[in-house]
Chain A
Amino acid sequence: MEKHHYIAVVFLLAGGILSAIASKDFLSMRDADILHPSQFVTTTGMLSDYLPEIKGTYGDTKVYYFNSGNPGATVILLGGTHPNEPAGFIAAAVLVENAQVTKGRLIVIPQSCASGFTATDPLEACPTHFTINTQSGPRTFRYGARGGNPLHQWPDPLVYRHYPSGQQLSGMESRNLNRSYPGRVDGSFMERNGFAIVQLIKKENVDVAFDLHEAAPEVMIINAIITHEKGSDIAANAVLNLEFEDLQYSLEISPKNFHGLSHREWGDSTMTFAFLMETSNPSQGRLRGVTSEALVVEGNDPFYKTASKLDNVRITYDSSGEPLSLRVARHLQGFKRLVESYNEAHPENSAIIENIPEYNAVVSDGVGKYLK
């Protein structure tokens, strides 16, 4: 062996070690987040119970059922449709770990796009995990990507054609769960994911459905409730009631010609009243600085702070920050008031969900206090 062969072996070994370190980091995102369900969770199932074709794939995800045993409405709440919008996932986790249903049923899917939790978005420099101090000490949760992992659905088409509308979107949206409804059984990985969720809504006769999201502070629709036209009165009533608590939500009606989104397709293809909520998440924004765990949890970004003081930049960002606790609190309070508003409109078929932490308590105590 000559000298350059020895050098090649040494470099190869060094490359191997670096690959192993990187692999460990990447593979850590395949370890499932652990939730500690409340004693009132009656059953735990899988999404594949509604579509066996996704069993054993990264499209499958846990489903938690709270069955009061008393007849009433069935409510479903989805978190983690976009795994880089953690307030939805954590709000769902708070419900799984605390809620008690005394009338009707509640179904929670905390990580609706399980595939998206196994990777971060390329070139975004996002953390793979974030930590919340909880009752039992620090707990770590995954911070994923907006869409599914390309390892599970590849390649992206140049143009994504939504089924069945034929609406054209950019290719990467083919991995976006919230552009894949109502989906199809023989479709792409993400279309099957969407199809399974629609099957669940149909089979369980879900009356009210929620999809929790976040958006960058510069996005126009933020701190908003978006609903299918069927739910406009329920949403308007909830917005007014939330306003009494000094919580501002703008009401948006789902455009009839924008397909693939939960509020549009669930409303069109099932009997459910569909609602989607948005909060302001600076860790998703284009103006942000370092994308650290601290930014995800504390929501403090110096560049957004500066931007919020400028008149010519239109953003929804409180200069004191948009912490995860506040964003989760908004989702939980919005959820609570929308369910109440539904109950007001349908007293004959209502759902009573208790033990949802109050907005002020979550903001002041921190969301960790409501995680076991």
Chain B
Amino acid sequence: MLFYTYIIIAALVASIILTELFREKSWRNQLAMVIILIPLLLRIFQIK
């Protein structure tokens, strides 16, 4: 159960970052957001 709660939280955070990525106007911040997104994606798809 905790495992899936973790995955849901990771998916939620990833979707917020994704939304913010398109709102953000500074490319530096956009780059930082994508870097943060990578491990979250690997977690959500249970690759790592």
Q: Is any CB of A less than 8 Å from a CB of B in the complex?
A: yes
Instruction: Point out residues on A near B: beta carbons under 8 Å.
Output: 4-5, 7-8, 11-12, 14-15, 18-19, 22-23, 26-27, 119, 151, 154-155
Range, interface on chain B: 20 to 34
For residue A155, which residues in chain B have a CB less than 8 angstroms away from its CB?
Answer: 2-3, 6
User: In the complex, what residue of chain A is closest to B35 when comparing beta carbons?
Assistant: A15
Closest 5 pairs (CB-CB, A-B): A15-B34, A11-B34, A4-B25, A8-B21, A23-B47
Q: Give B44 Cβ to nearest chain A Cβ, in Å.
A: 11
23 sample A-B contacts, Cβ–Cβ < 8 Å, listed by A number = A4-B22, A4-B24, A4-B27, A4-B30, A5-B22, A7-B27, A7-B30, A8-B21, A11-B31, A12-B34, A12-B37, A14-B34, A15-B41, A18-B38, A22-B47, A23-B42, A23-B45, A26-B42, A26-B48, A27-B47, A119-B48, A151-B46, A154-B6
Other contacts beyond A11-B27, A11-B34: 16, CB < 8 A:
A4-B30, A5-B22, A8-B21, A8-B22, A15-B37, A19-B42, A22-B42, A22-B48, A23-B45, A26-B47, A27-B47, A119-B48, A151-B46, A154-B6, A155-B2, A155-B6
B10-48 vs A, Cβ < 8 Å mask (1 yes, 0 no): 000000000001101101001101110110011001111
Question: Measured between alpha carbons, how far is A15 from B41 in the docked complex, in Å?
Answer: 10
Question: Measured between alpha carbons, how far is A4 from B48 in the docked complex, in Å?
Answer: 31
For residue A23, which residues in chain B have a CB less than 8 angstroms away from its CB?
Answer: 42, 45, 47
Question: Measured between alpha carbons, how far is A5 from B24 in the docked complex, in Å?
Answer: 9
Q: Give B16 Cβ to nearest chain A Cβ, in Å.
A: 14
Question: Measured between alpha carbons, how far is A18 from B39 in the docked complex, in Å?
Answer: 10
User: In the complex, what residue of chain A is closest to B32 when comparing beta carbons?
Assistant: A11
For residue A22, which residues in chain B have a CB less than 8 angstroms away from its CB?
Answer: 38, 42, 47-48
Question: Measured between alpha carbons, how far is A4 from B45 in the docked complex, in Å?
Answer: 27
Question: Measured between alpha carbons, how far is A151 from B31 in the docked complex, in Å?
Answer: 28
For residue B6, which residues in chain A have a CB less than 8 angstroms away from its CB?
Answer: 154-155
Q: Most chain-A CB neighbours within 10 Å: which of B27, B35, B47?
A: B47
Question: Measured between alpha carbons, how far is A114 from B46 in the docked complex, in Å?
Answer: 17
Name the one of A4, A15, A27 contacting B38, with C-beta atoms under 8 angstroms: A15
For residue A4, which residues in chain B have a CB less than 8 angstroms away from its CB?
Answer: 22, 24-25, 27, 30
For residue B2, which residues in chain A have a CB less than 8 angstroms away from its CB?
Answer: 154-155
For residue A27, which residues in chain B have a CB less than 8 angstroms away from its CB?
Answer: 47
Question: Measured between alpha carbons, how far is A7 from B27 in the docked complex, in Å?
Answer: 7
For residue B41, which residues in chain A have a CB less than 8 angstroms away from its CB?
Answer: 15, 19
Q: Most chain-B CB neighbours within 10 Å: which of A7, A18, A26?
A: A7
Question: Measured between alpha carbons, how far is A22 from B45 in the docked complex, in Å?
Answer: 12
Q: Give B48 Cβ to nearest chain A Cβ, in Å.
A: 5
For residue A15, which residues in chain B have a CB less than 8 angstroms away from its CB?
Answer: 34-35, 37-38, 41
Question: Measured between alpha carbons, how far is A138 from B30 in the docked complex, in Å?
Answer: 44
Is A19 in contact with B38, judged by CB distance below 8 angstroms? yes
For residue B27, which residues in chain A have a CB less than 8 angstroms away from its CB?
Answer: 4, 7, 11
User: In the complex, what residue of chain A is closest to B5 when comparing beta carbons?
Assistant: A155
Question: Measured between alpha carbons, how far is A8 from B48 in the docked complex, in Å?
Answer: 25
Question: Measured between alpha carbons, how far is A236 from B45 in the docked complex, in Å?
Answer: 51
For residue A7, which residues in chain B have a CB less than 8 angstroms away from its CB?
Answer: 27, 30
Q: Give B19 Cβ to nearest chain A Cβ, in Å.
A: 10
Q: Give B45 Cβ to nearest chain A Cβ, in Å.
A: 8
